[in-house]
A and B are shown apart, each in its own frame.
Chain A
């Protein structure tokens, strides 16, 4: 048997009063162990933290949710409803002769995007090819300068995407020829691409817009090659989703109260569960940023958070955790590599990992 890992170095508080970490762990285990309908939320953690959190949720019959679930599930809902054709950052970088940037939020979702995708260079593995850049969305300045821009308001991207899809498929649209001209030119350019890639940020497009864009990509593959590159949601949402899927068969917003897991994005939305009073306890995890839970003292909360997190009212139990990949070695979804990879601690510090803290709570459950 492995000993529960020591989490004694972390700052720990119970009801706003500083205590030893083992005492906070005991209180957390008591609170969660007594709960009948808990939610493990936030889940801003690395793969090990996600695995431990899912195991804890399974052990106490709780539900799991992620603080960026809305963004992550907007993409996943399209994938699992209609399917999609996608590619990786490395393929986009080395092969795309046309890159269609869609919607707002791209530089924010991935500050290194322009450099990592080498957007201003020709694709390295396609001899003699140039790279054409297009941006369909709001704003044309900043790092996306240089792209052929088709201005479209962030909240109304569905319309130009639907028109673009119709034009690319040679179908009539309701727009007059002047209004349709920029999109007509774009449609023609996309059809001429040899390996085109459409990039969007998770959560920046609603599900219908994503579905329309993926439909456009699908249509283009009748005659040429085209693929999507959805940028992952923040706080390792993609990594947590992968770990949840291999461990439970489902992404977050899944409940483990019954004999089989139940996935229901509405029912297991932590915010809704707390607001409705369904949740009787919460474990909130945010290791990447000092983000408090989006509820106050509506529900007794155990918070595993980055140091410096400010709460409206002190949580029932607070345990500080380190920043994955900075304070300690970690496994994280890496947007630049398009997969889960090892992130060595950038400046190692003796802090508690989420995985260890959750494992300690889990171990303490038995003695409660």
Chain B
């Protein structure tokens, strides 16, 4: 079937296109315009609307044992309701699709519990999903490092884990800290070593960066640094950027590291410093993890940080898991508009968005649900595009908080084109999804159509029309079809010798076979279609 989206403003930065015109779709793909006069089988008149590729979220905690523990810990947050900080599977797909997002990456899955994550993701309708596999606190990797088994062995192991857990990339979360915490270490920085070894966080980061390059993964190492949330931790983020050398590194939720020690309370925004550092380093990408005010729950595999944050729980309860590899912690939290620290966090995130000058290297996240639920995206987009809206908010926030931030002085407003880069073109490139994030011929016809209005948040909350694989799935925020989503994963090759050493270690240490943790075929986890293989570069 040949479909025409007629008369919209097509914003496709990957092809330098921003002009009114028609977009043609056939068999789930964008196609070149047919010869003049060829009739469409269906036409959607989108005159006056903005037409973009479907949005891609590179970092949103939507599945897995930690997220599900948050649902069970917090019945009062009512995950079953339409808008919740940890919505249920059916709602996740619908709410993302309503905003025009069609691909979402769950960024923190420990390989030993990847199966549950995939079962959950398979239950999410409409949108395509993927996971990042967490390495860096796992016993086998630490053993490879301790024994100096070499880069090839680490790369083989990483490939084995990526395949077994059906992941799209590698995440490291406060590498070394979760292992150290099991030995009762309560603070762990970039150059601290896992007790009983000489392995530092820095060494783990560099090792996993190297494995990423060896395997030719499109997605760089996705790193959650040490010292999250602590005053003065901008120094940690800067040191980590330096530690990366010239190699690619993605820094997750940079806002949570954008803190200095200025001001009367010894807590300030250091976002300008970090933005400058990111601007100067072409090898660095970052997502923000914007804070928005309201009740949420923090769900993190940084078990040490979550353990230390238990005192701030609201309501007053938390779950801490000393898991295989990272484990994690669930700490409910309420960001308050009247709270000095929360206001600084809010400002620091916006400063990073506005001061990092390359929209290809800054990514749009709230670290859902850690900074805010993903349902806050429309409000955040509006703030980025409208300085007067920001000024209105600043008026309502503690003055002393605004004094330790430069936000009020920043005049930049994101253009629609920059939004399209940050939420579409750049994420597709960062994840190696060649047929997503753009609207050129051959692109997957995941398409979002927005009707411009004075209230930009309203425009982004309920897209006028959303196509998934060329099929209309949402109209003005209402679902019109609920196709199954698709799972995306890499499958790098590796030397099978690693299977033998892995099996020997697992049998002698854990008494189980490593294959016990492998995620079975798509059909077995409840997916209608096989996993789509994301190619490696080698």
Contact = CB atoms under 8 A, between A and B. Distances in A.
Contacts of A124: 508-509
Interface string A76-96: 100111111111101101110
Nearest to B303: A85
B481 interface: no
Interface stretch (B10-18, B168-176, B448-456, B513-521): B513-521
Contacts of A90: 112, 324, 510, 512
B184 interface: yes
Nearest to A217: B320
B525 interface: yes
Given A91-B323, A125-B509, A194-B184, 16 more contacts: A79-B72, A80-B72, A83-B313, A85-B319, A93-B511, A94-B510, A127-B196, A242-B68, A243-B119, A245-B71, A246-B63, A246-B71, A261-B80, A339-B115, A341-B115, A342-B524
Contacts of A82: 317
Nearest to A2: B528
Interface stretch (A8-16, A139-147, A248-256): A248-256
Contacts of B520: 331, 342
B317 A250 contact: no
Contact of B322 (A85, A246, A248, A337): A85
Q: Which 7 pairs from chain A and chain B are nearest by CB? A: A249-B79, A249-B80, A83-B317, A87-B322, A85-B320, A342-B520, A261-B80
B324 A249 contact: no
A340 B116 contact: yes
A48 B510 contact: no
Given A127-B196, A246-B88, A250-B80, A83 B116 contact: no
Interface in A35-88: 47-48, 51, 76, 79-88
Contact of B512 (A246, A250, A337): A337
Nearest to B518: A342
B112 A246 contact: no
Interface string B78-95: 111100101111100000
A227 interface: yes
Contacts of A242: 65, 68, 116
A247 B72 CA distance: 12
A120 interface: no
Contact of A249 (B78, B318, B319, B524): B78
B324 A91 contact: yes
A86 B324 CA distance: 12
Size category of the B interface is: 35 or more
A195 B195 CA distance: 14
B400 interface: no
A91 B89 contact: no
B312 interface: no
B319 A331 contact: no
Nearest to A334: B516
Contact of B526 (A51, A194, A260): A51
Interface string A231-267: 0000000000111011111110000000011010000
B484 to A, nearest CB: 11
27 contacts: A80-B75, A83-B310, A86-B319, A87-B321, A88-B327, A90-B512, A91-B182, A93-B511, A116-B511, A125-B509, A195-B322, A221-B307, A245-B71, A246-B71, A247-B90, A247-B123, A248-B79, A250-B75, A250-B79, A250-B80, A251-B72, A331-B119, A331-B524, A339-B113, A341-B115, A341-B517, A342-B520
Contact of A331 (B90, B115, B324, B512): B115
A95 B323 CA distance: 11
A79 B74 CA distance: 10
B75 A263 contact: yes
A85 B331 CA distance: 12
A260 B80 contact: yes
B513 to A, nearest CB: 10
B75 A227 contact: no
A331 B88 contact: no
A260 B115 contact: no
A76 B72 contact: yes
Given A249-B84, A263-B75, A331-B525, A225 B317 contact: no
A313 B517 CA distance: 43
Contacts of A251: 72
A337 B520 CA distance: 15
Contacts of B276: none
A336 B512 contact: yes
Contact of B511 (A83, A115, A227): A115
A339 B324 CA distance: 11
Interface string A277-311: 00000000000000000000000000000000000
B73 interface: yes
A247 B182 contact: no
Interface in A114-154: 115-116, 118, 124-125, 127
Contact of A88 (B119, B181, B324): B324
A246 B123 contact: yes
Interface residues of A, number: 54
B195 to A, nearest CB: 10
A82 B517 CA distance: 31
Nearest to B184: A225
A278 B74 CA distance: 28
Contacts of B313: 83
A351 interface: no
A48 B75 contact: no
Contacts of B518: 342
A118 B511 contact: yes
B115 A342 contact: yes
Interface string B284-308: 0000000000000000000000010
Contacts of B320: 83-86, 227
A221 B282 CA distance: 43
Contacts of A248: 79-80, 88
Contacts of A339: 65, 112-113, 115-116, 517
A356 interface: no
Interface string B472-509: 00000000000000000000000000000000000011
A94 B183 CA distance: 13
B72 A195 contact: no
Nearest to B332: A83
Contacts of B512: 90, 336-337
A91 B115 contact: no
Contacts of A224: 184
B120 interface: yes
Of A224, A251, A342, which is in contact with the most chain B CB atoms at under 10 Å from its CB?
A342
A210 to B, nearest CB: 14
Contact of B317 (A80, A194, A247, A331): A80
A329 B319 CA distance: 32
B89 A246 contact: yes
Nearest to A80: B73
Contacts of A79: 72-73, 319
Contacts of B327: 87-88
A135 to B, nearest CB: 22
Contacts of A336: 512
B517 A246 contact: no
A337 B517 contact: yes
Contact of A225 (B88, B183, B525): B183
Contacts of A338: 112, 324
B453 to A, nearest CB: 29
Contacts of A88: 112, 321-324, 327
A64 B79 CA distance: 17
B324 A95 contact: no
B139 interface: yes
